[in-house]
Amino acid sequence: MSAMLSAEELRKALRLYLVMGSPNCGGGDPYEVLEAAIDGGITMFQLREKGPGALQGPELLALGARLRRLCAQRGIPFIVNDDERLALELEADGLHIGQEDAPAAAVRERLPKMIVGVSAHDLGEAQSALAEGADYLGVGPQYATRTKLDAREVQGPAVLARMRAGGIHLPLVGIGGIDATNAGAVIRAGADGVAVVSAIASARSPREAAAALRALLLL
């Protein structure tokens, strides 16, 4: 577990997890989108700069530094997707990696003080991630998504129930196609929280979208 958050604090932080980068903001300013989402009540943030027009190099570092600072000011854990070096440069609270990224055990060893999140699509992957020292699992896709073109097939909330029944007690967050119409089903299946991209970042009002999700998650 990260030195920064206890397991219980992490479970709470995962409740409404915004995952986002500039390509998800419909041309809007990602800083303003994140600020509005924090005002609306998100509890954790992941910088995932992927897709058409994704920033790289110094531009990505500059954006990451601004978003990181905003999260620090507002008490929101700041996680970086995929890029271990960027996570270190930004002094992130954590790194999220998937099955096609660096091996979780090696990342755990290199980043002993960071929150390490791992994507898991079935019980077997969840058991491996647990054994390799993951702090939480991102589980999905729960529903169809247009945000991640290389997403695996839809698993549905039942995959969360299978993980719980299989003895996975790690903090779990559902991801993929989640919005206000289906977030409750994800929680009822066993997730501690929901991770969303488009439901907040592409909303007409990211603040209102985050507030609506927060209200139904009973926060």
Ligand X SMILES: Cc1ncsc1CCOP(=O)(O)O
Ligand Y SMILES: Cc1ncc(COP(=O)(O)OP(=O)(O)O)c(N)n1
Residue owning tokens 């993980």: 163
Nearest to 200 by CA among 216, 181, 178, 184: 178
Q: Does 68 bind ligand X (CB under 6 A)?
A: no
Q: Considering CB distances under 5 to 8 angstroms, the limit depending on partner class, which of ligand Y, ligand X, Mg ion, none binds residue 21?
A: none
Q: Does 81 bind ligand Y (CB under 6 A)?
A: yes
Q: Does 148 bind ligand X (CB under 6 A)?
A: yes
- b/e sequence 79-106, b meaning 16+ C-beta within 10 Å: bbbbbbebbeebebbbbbbbeebeebee
Give dist(CA 104, CA 79) in Å, integer.
15
Q: Does 195 bind ligand Y (CB under 6 A)?
A: yes
Selecting among 2, 22, 48, 108, the annotated active-site residue is 48
Based on the residue annotation, tell me whether 148 is a catalytic residue of this protein: yes
Selected from 64, 117, 174, 176, the binder of ligand X by CB under 6 A is: 176
Phi, psi angles (nearest 5°) of residue 52:
-55, 130
Residue type, position 186, single letter: V
In whole angstroms, what separates CA 17 from the centre of its chain?
Answer: 5
Q: Does 101 bind ligand Y (CB under 6 A)?
A: yes
Eight-class DSSP state of 219 = -
Phi, psi angles (nearest 5°) of residue 151:
-65, 150
Q: Does 23 bind ligand X (CB under 6 A)?
A: no
Q: Does 138 bind Mg ion (CB under 5 A)?
A: no
Nearer to Mg ion, 89 or 101 (CB): 101
Q: Report yes or no: 213 and 198 within 8 Å, Cβ to Cβ.
A: no
Selected from 141, 171, 174, 193, the binder of ligand X by CB under 6 A is: 141
Q: Which residues in this chain contact Mg ion in the complex, by CB under 5 A?
A: 82, 98, 101
Q: Which residues are annotated as a binding site?
A: 46-50, 81-82, 101, 119, 145-148, 177, 197-198
Q: Which residues are annotated as a binding site for Mg(2+)?
A: 82, 101
Q: Which residues in this chain contact ligand X in the complex, by CB under 6 A?
A: 19, 140-141, 145, 147-148, 151, 175-178, 196-199
